[in-house]
Amino acid sequence: MYKKNIPTSVIAFLIILIFFSCSTRIEASSKVIPPDSYVSDEIAVFFNGQIIISPKKTFNIDTSKYSGTYIPLKLLNELPKVTVNFSNPITIKTENKTSTINQTDTFLYDNTTYITLNKLYEVTGFTGKYVYDPNSLFLWSSADGETKSKNLINQINNVTYDFHKSFMGKKVYVYDEDISGWVISMEKSISGLTNFKIQLKNGKVIEELAISEVPDSFCTEFDTVLINARYNGKYYWADKTQLPSSNPLINIEKVYFTSVKIKGREILIAAKRNGGASVTFKIPIKNDPFESIKSNFYTENPKSTYPGWSTDMWNKIAQQKISVGMTPEQVLLSWGGPNDINSYTSKNTRIEQWIYGNTYLHFYNGNLESWSKY
């Protein structure tokens, strides 16, 4: 068989060509952060007082070898008047300087190239401050940007509730608007309440006033996902003493949740009844959407808690009826908690009066003796 010899010069040329071809594809990262490293929640980034909305996420990362704040290299391209050229070496150009980044300056985490916060300061000439409570990074490139950034930071520090501070820069879902947005500022009002400014996805900016520690007009976007993950695919028992009267379930009825969604100011729940029939219903949101579910459903079968009660007693509770001889626990399951309780105790006697609106229940030594309406 005839074999054609390839000249040595051609082989050398091909090797060089392959080398340079591959080198242009090398990810500009020489340090790999282990996937099991501690990684914080996403850090909100503000530049000259304006939020940077981006899918590229900034984190605090802590390992035995690498610790600090890490910024995605591509996020720099989204900052005003910053240009990043991703050729080798990477070049970063701002209004005031041009810098290069080599492999030793970068870190690879989750298939994304990062640089440290200190390196960002070095190559851009920017200054900034990471603030722990709102988990936010404030960057500025000018005296005016510094003033705006520090005003935001001071407003956050003055807010009454620490929990409110955690919403800064977060993506939230606004109930009445039925749309998501980002918290771009917060300020303590004259009355001590917190006034949130939210930039919606449609560009509209609204203000929401929180009158308690848990805002009652919005929740985090993450909560809208978490609520389904937490409650879907499990059995619950209806507490009809708390559910709206229009709810189709009966008291202590067992249901299996198949879908849980936040829509407007309501939680939409799809479920399967014990016989297999499908049922859907809504629960109004009262402050915390998770508490709205907890307060309307038992997570364990009440019958397992009180195995000695008769079938007749459980039927009365399911129908939300009361009868003479019931214990306080049985009345609570049937009617819920009273509006008020009056009590008298002596050496051998305990008398209680439970008030439900204009109905008065009378307990004698732990059992329902009578009731009357006024």
The pair of three-digit structure tokens given for residue 271, joined into one six-digit string:
């479920």
* Residue spans per domain, the chain: 31-140, 159-215, 232-303, 306-373
Q: Residue-wise pLDDT tens for the chain (374 aa)? A: 444 455 555 455 554 444 444 443 434 446 899 988 999 999 999 999 999 999 999 999 998 888 999 999 999 999 999 999 988 889 999 998 999 998 889 999 999 999 999 999 999 999 999 999 999 999 999 999 999 999 999 999 999 999 999 999 999 999 999 999 999 999 999 888 999 999 999 999 999 999 999 999 999 999 999 999 999 999 999 999 999 999 999 999 999 999 999 999 999 999 999 999 999 999 999 889 999 999 999 999 999 999 999 999 999 999 999 999 999 999 999 999 999 999 999 988 999 999 999 999 999 999 999 999 98
d(CA 124, CA 36): 30
> How far apart are alpha carbons 224 and 202 in whole angstroms?
19
Q: Which CATH class is domain 306-373?
A: alpha beta
Q: What is the dihedral of CA 150, 153, 157, 161, to 10 degrees?
A: 160
Q: Where does 223-295 show beta strands of DSSP type E?
A: 235-238, 254-263, 266-273, 278-284
Cβ contacts of 350 within 8 Å, gap of 6 or more = 343, 344, 363, 364, 365, 366
